[in-house]
Amino acid sequence: MTKLVVSSIGPASSVQDGGRHGTQRYGLTPSGAMDRIALAAANCLAGNPIFAAAIEIGPFGAAFTAREGAVRVALAGAPRSADISGRTVAFDTSMTLADGETLTLGFARGGAFSYLGIEGGIEGEPMFGSLAVNARAGLGSPFPRPLQAGDTLQTKPASGTAERRIDLPVAVTGPIRVVMGPQDDEFGDDAKKLFLNSEWKISATSDRMGYRLEGPVIKHLHGNNIVSDGTVDGSIQVPGNGAPIVLMRDRGTSGGYPKIATLISADLGRFAQIPAATGFRFKAVPMAEAQGEARKFWKMLHTLPDCLRAIESFDLNIEALQDANVAGSAVSAVDAVTWQIATGADALAPD
């Protein structure tokens, strides 16, 4: 069996899949990829099910080396410089690492997370039905923690099939959409207007559990404590200091702070990709619109395989190109006879 060795890697990088489901009643959060579109795209390119386990790479650089055979991989998500042994490679494509070759990735640009899909998936022992890493809970496989230099992933040998690219649908832009509540009645009209009309930024202290927001202080009407109740991905809690926290994939399953609003599920991935200190705004939408966007989102995810295209390759025959004389007649720069334009009678003379 072939291997993919982590040669170097920054923090906030781990194995993630579509998440573990059906366990929140026991206090286990779903976890899973921060950006499901990017995860699905990387897996489609690698020939895997859309929610198979892949490597979620945080904002910093990383490098991966193939061992004991060729490994086919695919890149999607936040763009960054990428090369294989000095040869530049593109995002949203698949590529094959020959035995001993290294894929080197730079810092993320305009996003936070990139995904490395691996043909055949990642070998590991599912924990509650998933390989997704939740470091706080000690869950995940093959490593229940962020990846480190020297980690080795067991992989399948490269199939040798043609490389592919994916033409992703046009990305949604504009404000991050939310449904107000479920405890928006804990905030006055002025506080809710301030929440929706202000520019926010994500704090550098954020992580997979929650994104802390920097902006105005949101004041409560009746204090900051409520009877603890369930949370979902995208719940926006407002603790006592008035600085909202957006709960992310590794959130707790319940909480005791009022939730002023909830991100719609279709926007959670693009919210997760907003770089720290980049300004953005929220927009309130009706529940019916949020549900419609959720249906469109899931339909789009499951039709991503239809967006795959083969990457054309060319086997150039150098001798054939030389015989074709595509550059025209050869001349000598030091022999005027070969390049001077004929004039007068010389121009009319037969060859």
Phi, psi of 126 (to 5 degrees): -60, 140
Query: pLDDT per residue over 272-286, tens digit each?
Result: 999 999 999 999 999
Residue 2 to residue 99: CA distance in whole angstroms: 9
Query: pLDDT per residue over 217-251, tens digit each?
Result: 999 999 898 999 999 999 999 999 999 999 999 99
Residue 252 to residue 265: CA distance in whole angstroms: 17
- The secondary structure of 75-99 as a DSSP string is EEES---EEETTEE--SSEEEEEPT
Query: pLDDT per residue over 30-63, tens digit each?
Result: 999 999 999 999 999 999 999 999 999 999 999 9
Residue pair 167/22 in contact by the 8 Å Cβ criterion: no
Per DSSP, 334 falls in state T
What CATH number does domain 176-302 carry, 1.10.3720.10, 1.10.357.10, 3.40.50.720, 2.40.100.10? Answer: 2.40.100.10
Task: Give 95's strand partners.
Answer: 73
The pLDDT of residue 169 = 92
349 has a pLDDT exceeding 90: no
2 has a pLDDT exceeding 90: yes
Nearest CA-CA partner of 57 in 12, 4, 124: 12
The pLDDT of residue 335 = 52
Domain ranges of the chain: 2-165, 176-302
287 has a pLDDT exceeding 50: yes
Residue pair 61/107 in contact by the 8 Å Cβ criterion: yes
- Per cent of the chain over pLDDT 70 is 89
345 has a pLDDT exceeding 90: no
336 has a pLDDT exceeding 70: no
More confident residue, 351 or 226: 226
Map 250-318 to HEC letters.
CCCCEECCCEEEEECHHHHHHHHCCCCCCCECEEECCHHHHHHHHHHHHHHHHCHHHHEEECCCCCCCH
Residue 177 to residue 167: CA distance in whole angstroms: 25
The pLDDT of residue 237 = 98
Task: Give 3's strand partners.
Answer: 67, 154
The pLDDT of residue 346 = 45
Query: pLDDT per residue over 116-169, tens digit each?
Result: 999 999 999 999 999 999 999 999 999 999 999 999 999 999 999 999 999 999
SS3 155: strand
The pLDDT of residue 38 = 98
